[in-house]
Amino acid sequence: MNKNILLTYTLVTLTALLTLSGCKLGKHYTRPDLDIPKTLSDRIPSDSLATDTLSLADLPWDQLYTDTILQGLIRKTLDYNKDLLMATARVKELASMKRIDFANMFPEVGLRVYAERERENYGGDSYTNSDQFDLKGTVSWELDLWGKLRWARDESLAEFRASVENRRALKMSLIADVAEAYFELVALDNELNIVRQTVDARRESLHLARIRYEGGLTSETAYRQAEVELARTSTLIPDLERQITLKENDLALLTGEYPHQLNRARLPEDVQLPSTLPVGLPSTLLERRPDIRQAEEQLIAANAAVGVAYTSLFPNIALTATWGAESDLLKELLESPHHLISGTLLQPIFAMGKNKARLKARKAARERALYAYEKAVLSAFKDAYDAIAEFNKMQEIYDTRLSLERSSRSALELAQLQYVNGVIGYMDLLDAQRGYLDAQISLSNAVRDKQITFVHLYKALGGGWEQ
């Protein structure tokens, strides 16, 4: 028996050495040669950008978004958002799945315990016993001579890493979505406040127009026009209230809650943008953006799937070893040793081209994954360029709208004075009032856009998912 065991161990050892020294057929993955831009600041004034390795994305999101109410919404989103929870569950699922492909590379050990009690009576004279008792340990192992199992392990590992990057990308997007929705909600509150103040002013104008009309100072046309203008401005209020409710519902969904009224801060009078903007180098964008890394991992998985399909064209070799005891009598079971070593060679001969078709399909899938990766890189650079251009022009946009608001306010004050003194007609006053309302809303939107500019830039540079 010792001699048989030694023979078994020798064969298993030789098999292990043969497997470990086996080749891995197929094309190994190399990152595609991407002709990426040398800088993220092409066509952008160099004095407004810092192009070293530092990046705005290095800041944690709670240092960028200092509003404590917004910070609470973001933290709630990261804890309870359903899409993020699903992505987390997917990571756990693929973590277990990759363990299966890893375990397939090693021998599978089993134990077989079998007992059979049988009574036979062929001639009708007497019963005979035909019992069977087995106690056997089994070892089965598929030799990975061509690398099929290793390719399968690489594929599942890449899919797992892609799920991790997908969760990071989702986290990055959710932080940006919550911040943008919050700033839009605050801006809608401010716009509603502006419109309500304007409605109050319209009521005063209507009261003044009625007094002047009844006193014979103006025609009925001016009075009726004041009524129309009050009604027209009042129609803006329910629409803004509708938009506010919908935006609150959007934020509630992001935070994983049922729709409800949300607390928020007031819109600041202005948002200060930094004089210089660190954006980092193009190479850091490839490493920082999780959606790019996810696309690359999916390309790696597709390449490994090609390797699995290619090596499936070659023979499969499986070894099976059994050692134990079998006997007709239970008491003699341990005195009846048994061992068996077998090998199976399975070679695909004719399958109507199924294996070759599978290989072609996997190659086409790899090609698609390559284009998806290239598109992800192009999209990331477009996002970065758009966000930088947005940042570069936003201060100028705000300054011009601030100037317009101040000029419109001065013009309105002068028009009101001239109207009371009878210098100008009511239509001229209406034009001044409309101009000031538009200028106020435009300035409010400029403040909102300055906040959202930072949101877009932070996301485009790949910030927010590391914390």
The length of the chain is 467
Encoding tokens for residue 205?
A: 């104008």
SS3 320: strand
Q: Helix count (H) and strand count (E) of the chain?
A: 11, 8
Per residue in 110-138, pLDDT tens? 887 877 766 666 666 666 676 677 777 88
Per residue in 170-181, pLDDT tens? 999 999 999 999
Please check whether residue 241 is in contact with residue 162, taking contact to mean a CB–CB distance below 8 angstroms: no
Encoding tokens for residue 291?
A: 């959606």
What is the pLDDT of the chain when averaged over all its residues?
86
Please check whether residue 149 is in contact with residue 338, taking contact to mean a CB–CB distance below 8 angstroms: no
Which pLDDT does position 464 carry in this prediction?
Answer: 87
SS3 119: strand
- Gap between the Cα atoms of 219 and 428, Å rounded: 15
- Gap between the Cα atoms of 257 and 235, Å rounded: 31
Neighbours of 201 (CB within 10 A): 17
| For range 240-246, the mean pLDDT | 97
More confident residue, 336 or 299: 299
Reference 279, options 190, 158, 390; nearest CA is 390
Which pLDDT does position 21 carry in this prediction?
Answer: 46
Which pLDDT does position 23 carry in this prediction?
Answer: 76
Give the contacts of 390 (CB within 8 A, at least 6 positions apart): 453, 456, 457
Which pLDDT does position 276 carry in this prediction?
Answer: 75
Per residue in 16-70, pLDDT tens? 545 544 578 889 999 998 888 887 765 555 555 555 667 888 899 999 999 999 9
Give the contacts of 383 (CB within 8 A, at least 6 positions apart): 456, 459, 460
- Residues 177, 240, 258, CA angle at the centre, nearest 5°? 50
Which residues are registered as beta bridge partners of 133? 115, 327
Which pLDDT does position 325 carry in this prediction?
Answer: 72
Which pLDDT does position 54 carry in this prediction?
Answer: 78
Least confident window among 115-129, 408-422, 437-451: 115-129
Least confident window among 146-150, 191-195, 236-240, 326-330: 326-330
pTM for this structure? 0.86
Which pLDDT does position 144 carry in this prediction?
Answer: 87
Which pLDDT does position 109 carry in this prediction?
Answer: 86
Which pLDDT does position 384 carry in this prediction?
Answer: 92
Encoding tokens for residue 289?
A: 């953006």
For helices 68-80 and 236-254, give the axis angle rounded to 10 degrees.
50
Q: Phi, psi at residue 119, to the nearest 5°?
A: -120, 125
Amino acid at 11: L
Which pLDDT does position 155 carry in this prediction?
Answer: 95
Q: Give 405's Cβ-side CA count (13 Å radius).
A: 18
Question: What secondary structure, in 3-state letters, does 339-392 show?
Answer: EEEEEEEECCCCCCCHHHHHHHHHHHHHHHHHHHHHHHHHHHHHHHHHHHHHHH
More confident residue, 336 or 80: 80
Which pLDDT does position 262 carry in this prediction?
Answer: 93
Which pLDDT does position 16 carry in this prediction?
Answer: 53
pLDDT at 243 over 50: yes
Place of tokens 């060679």: 345
- Gap between the Cα atoms of 453 and 389, Å rounded: 10
Question: Using CB atoms within 10 A of its CB, is residue 275 exposed (0-12), middle (13-18) or buried (19+)?
Answer: exposed
Per residue in 287-304, pLDDT tens? 889 999 999 999 999 999
Task: Give the DSSP letter of residue 312.
Answer: T
Reference 89, options 34, 164, 33, 169; nearest CA is 164
Per residue in 251-292, pLDDT tens? 999 999 999 999 999 999 888 877 777 888 788 888 889 999
- Gap between the Cα atoms of 16 and 392, Å rounded: 62
- Gap between the Cα atoms of 461 and 450, Å rounded: 17
Please check whether residue 57 is in contact with residue 40, taking contact to mean a CB–CB distance below 8 angstroms: no
- Gap between the Cα atoms of 457 and 385, Å rounded: 9
Which pLDDT does position 208 carry in this prediction?
Answer: 85
Structural domains for the chain: 1-25+107-143+315-347 (2.20.200.10), 31-105+146-313+354-460 (1.20.1600.10)
Query: Which residue blocks in 215-327 are alpha helix, DSSP H?
Result: 220-234, 236-254, 282-288, 290-311
**H or E element, residue 95:** helix 82-103
Encoding tokens for residue 46?
A: 């160099």
Please check whether residue 285 is in contact with residue 40, taking contact to mean a CB–CB distance below 8 angstroms: yes
Q: Above pLDDT 90, what percent of the chain?
A: 55
| 95: confidence class by pLDDT, cuts 50, 70, 90 | very high
